[in-house]
Structure 1
Amino acid sequence: MNTNRGTSAEAPAENFMERLIREDMEAGTFSREVCTRFPPEPNGYLHIGSAFAILTNYTLAQAFKGRFHLRFDDTNPLKEDMEYVNAILEDMEWLGANPGGHIYYGSDYSGEIYNCAEKLIRKGKAFVCDLTAEELTAARGTLTAPGQDSPYRNRSVEENLQLFREMRAGRYPNGAKVLRARIDMASPNINLRDPVLYRIIHARHYRSGDDWCIYPMYDFAHPIQDAIEGITHSLCSLEFRDHRPLYEWVLEELEIPEPPMQREFGRVNLTGVITSKRYLRQLVAGGYVDGWDDPRLPTLRGLRRRGFTPESIRRFVQEIGMVRNQSTVDFSLLEHCLRQDLKAAAPCIMAVLRPLKVVLTNFSEGATELLTLDNNSENSALGTREVPISRELYIERDDFMEEPSPGFRRLSPGGEVRLKGAYIIRCDEVIKDAGTGEILELHCTYDPDSRSGGPASGRKVKGTVHWVAAAQAVAAEVRLYEPLLKEEGGPAKGGDDWNERLNPSSLTVLEHCLLEPYAQAALPESKFQFMRQGYFTADKEPEAGLLVFHRIVPLKDGWKARK
């Protein structure tokens, strides 16, 4: 999103939302500064779709030197909790969209919203209805048939005020009555067919306690909250377009001067991920994943634990730009943005994930030699470092093949490879388990003159493999991830079929990995490139005495391959 309009001839053109806001401000629609908001309901954790909405609102406010508000839409006590409030605050700070002092709670406006409801009643624009939820649904009509007027629609102002105040006082049980707008039951827009404005909920609110037992519906509370805060542009995703007439009706009937303007942008979906809070909650509650921060989830907590950086998510949103219509973006674009962030910043180290022991039979027992590795050629932030080598070391099991297939360029019986940054070795003997035939170790000899800079350093071999010295290796657990769903097609229809929809290979845990000594000092959330393996991050809460690494992404960039 362009935040530097007009700074140079090469500055990106305005997107359609920037143009709309600029035109509104130039026309004098508002006498106040541009103000946008992000209004999450604190009933779950933020996800990648939330990040798109957050950064869209935040960046637009910055572009016009205006204000950005965070407002918790906490007008439903049944699902909301302070846990989610704290998580949203933390995630937004991590994302780099800190609202500063502009943090608000919809529940703090309860008295003002209630007064607005009474104003509509006095104007004859709202009435108390006794229909049950099922009767309300039946009377609403369809897309082709009008709705039916409620038999309570013509109650007097006095009766409606009395009943509404009795609702407020807790005289009625849940579902006994609702407050509805009086608009038009024959409207082609179903949202205008006398929508419910207030319902009765006898439940303790995490913030206001038992002060209220009636709560406003989102479509009623939202425009009022926007007006109270001085929001100029209430930006929302495209599915709220049909709700805009009700948004405007509420503000008009309440006679709000310079009312906020609702404007819609296209919703962005990602291939292969689940962003519905309902389904995410099913996965967490059902134990299908390891909490809201499971690295397989697209929650910001999960992405952060997986190793995604806030810079990569901001770059991703910028790459997508502002879209008018709903669109689907390949998840590999997000991975591409992450690689752009990591490739010059993540130190490149050697890590053996599936170890195979190698004994250098002509290397002196008990001796250790320090080799200098230069990572400049690897585009690594680590630079030059010393790595120990000794008689016993480990290579990747996949880097040895007893009967090599055509084109195999690594180690095989009688064959030679170069140890990365070290010596050329030759496999002389394969040691196996007598009972199972499993390969236990390889006995090899090394060429002392083949070390980089040595007399035979220019001797060529077909392959190079990474390795770690056995005595100095750092033990670690490594977790590899694949998509959570077996195939494209969105979330499951319900909780009962998750076992059929989930990919059983979405998580692979490798328990006996070995890393070079540099990894010992890894801090939580520090990032590395494991040579030939991909990008990895240290877990935020490593287990006692054991490092745990998550693979963020493989080295191969699927997005580039498509371009």
Structure 2
Amino acid sequence: MNNHKKKRDISFIHKIINKDLKKKYEKNIHTRFPPDPNGYLHLGHAKSLYINFEIAKHYQGKCNLRFDDTNPNKKNSKYIKSIKQDILWLGYKWNKHVKYASMYFKKIYKYAVELIKKNLAYVDKLKKTDIRTFRGTLNKPGINSPYRNQTIEENMTLFENMKYGNIQEGMACLRAKIDMKSPIIIMRDPVLYRIKFNEHHKTNHQWCIYPTYDFAHCISDAIEGITHSLCTLEFQDNRVLYKWILDNLNILKQPQQYEYSRLNIEHMILSKRKLGLLIKKKIINNWDDPRMPTISGLRRRGYTANSILNFCKNLGITKQDNLIEMSSLESCIRKELDSTSYRTMGILDPITISITNINEEYEESIQILNHPKNHSMGFRKIIFNNMIYIDRSDFQENPKKNYYRLKIGGTVKLKYSYTITANSIEKDCDNNITKIFCTCNFQKNHNKDHGIIHWISKKQAKKCELRIYSYIFNDKNPNIKKNFLSNINNESKIIYNGFINKEIQKSSPVNTYQLERIGYFKIDNQISTNKNIILHQIVSLKENKKNK
């Protein structure tokens, strides 16, 4: 029995499906996720995945994975593999076998012939630029192609010549014969087939003509028995063409298309083409760069599947376009990591503290919890002795008023340990502070006038590379920029050569940590070695915005 009535606050799509079920238009709900294998999945795809798979799950239906491989490209196989991995990592399983638009090329071709024979399609020999010019604008109607009134026989001959490779690429295409004066530009004789001599990852060189997305998509939906074809709002006008194609073909059971808002997030671009350009221009290393809004990039950075799905859940399903705050995504992963991450201390930019009233042989072991609220996560031991590291940002030679961290004559508390007072400093020839000389007060009680700072004993310190990330784009909405590449944040990745506890190894069973007072980090096992641990900052901490 369906449980769709249990939830009161439901989306407009749920309401549509509920009505269809009530009126018995549909018995079994069937959705699909149809990515173009021309890049890696990003957060926009995660939202689409979530909607299609969760709706199918909610109604005990099915969701197909179908690759829109209507554009032959040798890289398709690489992207298909990554897309399948991302979907499985997110916890979804598609219905039966993976589907491909190319599985239906023979049927789609026959449907194209059907339109020609009904005098609803013709072979146009205009050049691409002329087709674009003849199409008109929003304020100017289109002009009929001089090839529009060819006979059915002429069009059939030309289409066969296209199929058998007798016409050069770009010299002809098949267009629907609809209305060149339509107020909806996509209905002004859209292209249905074009010539491409590229090798296809599935069909090799069997075809040299390929259907466009608009022609193949609706037919593929119908063949697979999709009941609700869900897509983003930019395909709203395409729905008219979607219905026109199905209405004019011998297809009895028609899917229905519905649109929801596209995902837009502050400081991000969610376009495979534009993200690919970042890689091509060598602004970003690869699709799985931790700064990328791709599923693989987020996974490598340390985001979990659960945090991404919770983010998608919180978005809901609406028709209203909004620019979502980055904090909405960050809060999902921060909430999860707060309860699951082991605590430890790390130093981004180290400076040496020499405690002068402790001799070299002195060593104190301090036992602390791995998680302050979860004793089942166990304990760890840290060493306190006369040589430790603190972060350079926790000391100022000439501090401003109300500075609560370490300064000459000032006292701070070392977290979990004693208070220390700074007495003097040592500098190198470039006037950089290299060492701070302090005395230990052997007091563990915290005076509220003293700041608390993190530290690592030099004996326990292990060199590491800590990578801190920020937005790729400076502007909140880089999508509206004429040249989005001019808006790059050159400090989107800052590398610190710092220290972590030497017990943290590449092979550690735990690879996600909260570095206290800094943020949440994940070890990158792809590129780390035991001699050089590389950690990505997943997200910062909420607090610690004040100098306290």
> The TM-score by the shorter chain falls in which range?
over 0.9
Please state if 1:26 is matched with 2:12. Answer: no
Aligned counterpart in structure 1 of residue 535 of structure 2, from 539, 542, 549: 549
Change (3 A) 1:357 1:249: same
Change (3 A) 1:432 1:186: closer
After superposition, give the CA deviation of every residue in 1:5-26 in whole Å (9 maximum; x if it has no partner).
444xxx4422111110111122
Change (3 A) 1:463 1:247: same
Distance 2:494 2:377 in 1: 28
Please state if 1:225 is matched with 2:217. Answer: no
Distance 2:390 2:373 in 1: 19
Aligned counterpart in structure 1 of residue 493 of structure 2, from 503, 507, 523: 507
Distance 1:324 1:535 in 2: 34
Correspondence for 1:535: 520
Displacement of 1:284 after TM fit?
0.1
Q: Which runs of 5+ in 2 are unaligned?
A: none
Distance 1:461 1:125 in 2: 82
After superposition, give the CA deviation of every residue in 1:29-61 in whole Å (9 maximum; x if it has no partner).
235x11111111111111111111111111111
Correspondence for 1:561: none
Please state if 1:467 is matched with 2:467. Answer: no
Q: Which moved more, 1:363-372 or 1:296-305?
A: 363-372
Change (3 A) 1:557 1:239: farther
Correspondence for 2:99: 104
Correspondence for 1:476: 464
Letter in 1 for 2:381: E
Distance 1:376 1:79 in 2: 49
Structure 1 SS opposite 2:236:
helix
Please state if 1:517 is matched with 2:511. Answer: no
Q: Which moved more, 1:322-331 or 1:517-526?
A: 517-526
Correspondence for 1:437: 431
Distance 1:246 1:458 in 2: 71
Aligned counterpart in structure 1 of residue 394 of structure 2, from 390, 395, 399: 399
Letter in 1 for 2:164: A
Change (3 A) 1:4 1:391: farther
Question: Any conservation in 2 of the 1:343–1:379 contact (CA below 8 Å)?
Answer: no
**1:246-285 counterparts in 2 under 5 A?**
246-285=241-280
Correspondence for 1:454: none
Q: Which moved more, 1:345-354 or 1:395-404?
A: 395-404
Letter in 2 for 1:548: I
Correspondence for 2:116: 121
Displacement of 1:372 after TM fit?
0.9
Aligned counterpart in structure 2 of residue 318 of structure 1, from 307, 313, 318: 313
Distance 1:340 1:460 in 2: 28
Q: Which runs of 5+ in 1 are unaligned?
A: 452-456, 559-563
Question: Any conservation in 1 of the 2:73–2:201 contact (CA below 8 Å)?
Answer: no
Q: CA RMSD in A?
A: 2.3
TM-score for both structures, normalised by structure 1: 0.91
**1:47-196 counterparts in 2 under 5 A?**
47-78=42-73, 80-99=75-94, 101-196=96-191
Correspondence for 1:35: 30
Distance 1:458 1:42 in 2: 58
Distance 2:61 2:164 in 1: 41
What is the number of residues matched between the two proteins? 542
Distance 1:63 1:348 in 2: 38
Q: Which moved more, 1:354-363 or 1:276-285?
A: 354-363
Change (3 A) 1:5 1:517: farther
Question: Any conservation in 2 of the 1:524–1:538 contact (CA below 8 Å)?
Answer: no
Displacement of 1:523 after TM fit?
4.7
Question: Any conservation in 1 of the 2:463–2:500 contact (CA below 8 Å)?
Answer: yes
Question: Any conservation in 1 of the 2:506–2:533 contact (CA below 8 Å)?
Answer: no
Q: Which moved more, 1:96-105 or 1:352-361?
A: 96-105
Displacement of 1:520 after TM fit?
2.9
Correspondence for 1:206: 201
Distance 2:316 2:454 in 1: 41
Correspondence for 1:424: 419
Question: Any conservation in 1 of the 2:262–2:321 contact (CA below 8 Å)?
Answer: yes
Displacement of 1:74 after TM fit?
0.4
Correspondence for 1:16: 12
Distance 1:391 1:403 in 2: 25
Q: Which moved more, 1:196-205 or 1:357-366?
A: 357-366
Change (3 A) 1:491 1:187: closer
Change (3 A) 1:526 1:38: same
Aligned counterpart in structure 2 of residue 197 of structure 1, from 172, 192, 195: 192
Percent identity for Structure 1 against Structure 2: 39
Question: Any conservation in 2 of the 1:37–1:69 contact (CA below 8 Å)?
Answer: yes
Question: Any conservation in 1 of the 2:74–2:199 contact (CA below 8 Å)?
Answer: no
Change (3 A) 1:182 1:79: farther
Correspondence for 2:363: 368
